[in-house]
Amino acid sequence: MIEVKHIDKFFDGGERQVLHNISAKFYDGKTNLIIGQSGSGKTVLMKSIVGLFKPENGEILYDGRNIIAMDNKQIKELRKEIGMLFQGSALFDSETVMGNVIFPLKMFSTMSHEEQRERAQFCIDRVNLTGSEDKYPSELSGGMQKRAAIARAIALNPKYLFCDEPNSGLDPKTSIVIDDLLSDITHEYNITTIINTHDMNSVMGIGENIVFINKGHVGWIGNKDEIYAVDNEDLINFVYATDLFADVRKYRLEHGYSKTRGR
């Protein structure tokens, strides 16, 4: 489990506060979603959790280990337990799909070359990319690139999986494939998966634990079954943001609902 406690993050020499006293829990074997509008601070929160940004206050506990208090060597060790899927896939251009997936195994495993290839092939098969092993990223579609990046992220059997906007740039059907894949992998390997998204299809499809970030604050915490019943104005505006749901949004804002478990 990853637990975030009272995180504050400032930029511009302390003049601009992006995260305000953020506290949340992200559970093992669940797809944990961080949702919010663009500029709400969800990417900063994710980058803080993985250690790319250092928050000014608070604690980030990976099964009790505070990443903020770790030195570089300890962070390096912890990162071997982390897999990350980037918004743009971040596959190495000069490597094939096999080269990309085998890379973390080459760098950090003690497996023989045959075992590494076997493991990489297993991951490639797991994300349904069999037959694309020798293709370069530029030869793959957006969805295939995401799947190759997922295969690379799970190659070392990570305990924690981070996904930054996994559906960005994908069509709705491919988005569902990626969501299902992430959800399946999370349950299959009992990974603590944190997904940063503003795609409502993902929220309603795989949102087992949802943290809504609004203007750098935690706006709401709950799950996909509770999200329709909240009376949080900002969240209602976010959920029913499109014109398609304009009437629903108006109705919800005017009539509201009784409070739910979400905070």
Partner 1 sequence: MVLFKSLEVFGKYCALVWSSIGVPDKWKEFFKRYINEMYKLGIDSIPLILIVSIFIGSLCTILIKINMSNPLLPRYTVGLSTREIILLEFSSTILCLILSGKIGSNIASEIGTMRVTEQIDALDIMGVNSANYLIMPKMLGMITIMPFLVIICMGTSLFGGYIICVLTGIETPDTFIYGIQSYFIEWYVWFALIKSLFFAFIISSISSFYGYTVTGGSVEVGKASTNAVVMSNIMILVADVILTKLMLQ
> Footprint of partner 1 on this chain (CB under 8 A)?
50, 52, 76-80, 82, 84, 86-88, 90-93, 103-104, 106-108, 162
- Of 164 and 179, which has the nearer Cβ to partner 1? 164
- Note whether 248 and 240 are within 8 A (CB): yes
CB of 92 to partner 1, least distance (A): 6
Q: What is the DSSP string of 128-142?
A: T-TT-TT--GGGS-H
177-197 burial, b for 16+ CB within 10 Å, e for fewer?
Answer: bbbebbbebbeeeebbbbbbb
How many Å apart are CA 158 and CA 163, to the nearest integer?
Answer: 13
- Of 155 and 218, which has the nearer Cβ to partner 1? 155
- Of 74 and 201, which has the nearer Cβ to partner 1? 74
CB of 225 to partner 1, least distance (A): 32
CB of 183 to partner 1, least distance (A): 21
Locate 21 and state its tokens. 């006293």
- Of 68 and 221, which has the nearer Cβ to partner 1? 68
CB of 251 to partner 1, least distance (A): 41
Q: How many CB atoms lie within 10 A of CB 94?
A: 9
Q: Which of 71, 39, 34, 33 is nearest to 54 (CA)?
A: 71
- Of 196 and 232, which has the nearer Cβ to partner 1? 196
- Note whether 142 and 169 are within 8 A (CB): yes
CB of 4 to partner 1, least distance (A): 18
